[in-house]
Amino acid sequence: MLRIWFNHWFRTAYSLIELMKNGYDEQVCIIGSHSAENSPIRLMCDEWYAEEYLDEKEYVDFCLDFCKAHNIDIFVPHRHMTAIAANSSRFESIGVKLFSDSFDKLSLFENKAKAYNELSKLASVNIPCFKTVTNADDFKAAFKELSGEYPDLCVKFVKDEGAQSFRHIKPKTNAFDSLRKYPGLSITYDELYSALATVESFDELMVMPYMDSVEVSVDCLQTDNGIIALPRSKGAFHIEELLFDSDIITMAEKIVTYAELQYPCDIQFRYLNGKPQLLEVNARMSGGLPMSCAAADINIPALALSKLTGKGCPMPSYEHKNKLFSNVEIPIIIA
């Protein structure tokens, strides 16, 4: 029986684990760990362990020791995924296979500016115009240059997860109206410049056009004879849609092929002036992957596991038909 470890995954990994357990052609034992003892993921795991916060180097050593102590065959990393991939040979030496792409691919896509520069070599992939800055004066210059061409701009750090640092730069904000909206998504130029000017320098920050359109997240997997590409449009009221935009599918396939991504990934786009533009590439399973799998009636986590274990990964047939769907949260008792 394969012993598969998921470390510190987000909440919707509950469904990713369920797909893997139900879709793989052999019985598996899922081991889960998290710093949140009562994460709902534990209910889908056969074994559950607590984690403490450690820095990257300490955490890699912890993972190696954990794999040895718990006889892990497959490691599906999330926390410190890139550092773990950098030490893939150490895991291989103890018989552990990583459910992950290589360090060079992960580190490329971890830095959004580097990824944009690299993928700009692909003529068929639309990359939005952007500037990177590391101090307030450079931000001022970049803002002046880009605002001459684009009426709306935004910023985010080149290394970010879940768009935590994203800010839409608005001419003004209304403090009272903000009480009715999710906080932190917009900021004025003066507020942002003042905040940046409080430090001499900072990590690379991207300044780019703000794209006021739906986000399309494409769940992808390279199979033995083709690329699965499921474009999931994120609409209002938690209603999503499989939206088979041929331009987006072509760009996603080009990126997967060029980067030689072998495991599930999530490629995000937004429209600018009617044309889809690349937002980012996440070289891991997305939180919305279970919805894409349900809508297309295919099982990407199980297919990827089959690929990793050498059983092959045939291209499944699925209907390229737009479908509306949603995710209904159902209460579960954790403890």
Label the pairing between strands 28-34 and 47-50: parallel
Which domains, ranges and CATH numbers included, belong to the chain?
A: 2-100 (3.40.50.20), 107-124+213-326 (3.30.470.20), 131-209 (no CATH)
Label the pairing between strands 167-170 and 153-157: antiparallel
User: Considering the entire predicted model, what is its pTM?
Assistant: 0.92
Contact yes or no for 72/5 (Cβ under 8 A):
yes
Written as tens digits, the pLDDT of the chain (335 aa) is 999 999 999 998 999 999 999 999 999 999 999 999 999 999 999 999 999 999 999 999 999 999 999 999 999 999 999 999 999 999 999 999 999 999 999 999 999 999 999 999 998 899 999 999 999 999 999 999 999 999 999 999 998 876 788 999 988 766 666 666 655 588 899 999 999 999 999 999 999 999 989 999 999 999 999 999 999 998 878 899 999 999 999 999 999 999 999 999 999 999 999 999 999 999 999 999 999 999 999 999 999 999 999 999 999 999 999 999 998 888 888 88
